[in-house]
A and B are shown apart, each in its own frame.
Chain A
Amino acid sequence: MKKLTRRRLEESIALGFMYISLGLVTGALGWILLTLIIKGAPALTWSMVSQVPQGGFYLGKEGGILNAIIGSLYLALGGTMLALLFSLPISLGLNVYIHRKAKWALIVRSILDVLWGIPSIVYGAFGFTIMLALGMRASLLAGIITLALVELPIMIRSMDEVLRLMPRDIEHASYGLGATRIETAFRVILPQMLPGLVTAAMLAFGRGIGDAASVLFTAGYTDRIPTSLMDPTASLPLAVFFQLSMPYPEVQKRAYGAALILTIIVLLISILSRWIASRVSRYSVK
């Protein structure tokens, strides 16, 4: 009887700690979002999202952060497109052209995991070094390339995980009709796995748009909206970072607003990708 109560006690203590942990984690999430909304929402005016910085902006005068919003979208879209260009063939290569159990596939996957783990500041420093070596200045293009490097391993590994789930029998049905691998890849595997692949790309996009360390030296920062790939560009994470370090409360308030906008974009993408993943596309075979 005594033993039993001790076991009960142990069970409730353990469970108690788990509830505390869970409370801490969800509490932190709530706290972060709440802080963001309370501080950021008042800064969200129409001029904030519709104007670029005007004269004296960094002293607290007129203007908005349209330059950073557009800049971030350009950077993340460009980076994602560029990464996609490589991710799709590489993940198809790993799943269609190279046998899954092959040693080479294992090596490539391990390297991709290693690349995924490299801190983005290292990519940033690397990108900057290459940029200088090529005689380029900080620009949208340099930012896009660096961001693509950050996103690449994330995207390939996620797509790899998606393609791994391709039903073999459907793939074989296509081979059975005399289709080649490339025909099967584009006509059968891609349509079948489309929702998962889109989710993978969006995941990488979300990662890219929030990444500050990689674009810190490579994309530059400017008040204007870039008109060419060679122009430097602002970005939302850096808008948060720079404006927060200004000594004027008016400018700091805009940092909160920028952070809120960035978070809304990231969360929207995260929710949207979840929704897409849960939806099987019309013709997918279950």
Chain B
Amino acid sequence: MKKVIGIATMCVLAMSLSACGSSNDGKDRVMISGSSSVNVLMEELEPVFEAKYENIDLKISASGSSDGIKAAKEGTVNFGMSSRSLTPEEKSGVDESIIAMDGIGVIVNANNPVTDLTIEQIAKIYTGEVTNWSELGGADLPIAVVARESASGTRGAFEEILGIKDQMTTDAKEFNGTGGVKSEVSQNPNAIGYISLGSIDETIKALKVEGIEASEANIQNDSYAIARPFILIYEENSLTQSSQTFLEWVLGPEGQAVVAEEFVSVENTAE
């Protein structure tokens, strides 16, 4: 008798659990997963989009660019998010749309007197040729090079623009995420790092690159050199109606207005 009751309880539990998983109130779901950097933007887009299209439910998860690309290719999600450009292997069989541009700000400690570096100087710092701030017009202090982990979207874009792919000095400190880089730079007067433009605040100082300030306006007019795209990956032929609606909305004026709040909007170049 006990056993029967036990099994019955288990069944009820299991059923209620699975019911939880599949309840969607009759809404049509759009699954999005991938880069954690793009996720920041997605979470700002989500409430605005869902307020307008009440019958569509966006499900967003941050699992890294590679995972998002893979999931979009296999069709387990409707959209993959990537903050790095795709390799040729990854590109085959999928479509991509740039939904925003993100500047990469070169940051130093707030007390560092240096305000402006050239692309060449930054490249030399990151390859280990320049190791003291006095060579750059600063105090006589060693430079602590702070970077993101290899294969991070931010690092990929940064090294590609500087032309130093995989040539970074091995002495550089690597952190996994904007937060780590930021806190190290904010408390270390010798440090130099790079983070997404949207994450820059008063605790650190963003450098001018080639005399041009890192700002949304300067990225939009292409004068600030270090920027990268935020990409949505999908299969055009198998897009659902809701996914199509979402994509058009993001690329349209309403979506781009949300993008422009913290990132750089893109001109709609869809053919």
Do A and B actually bind? no
Chain A contacts to B: CB under 8 angstroms: none
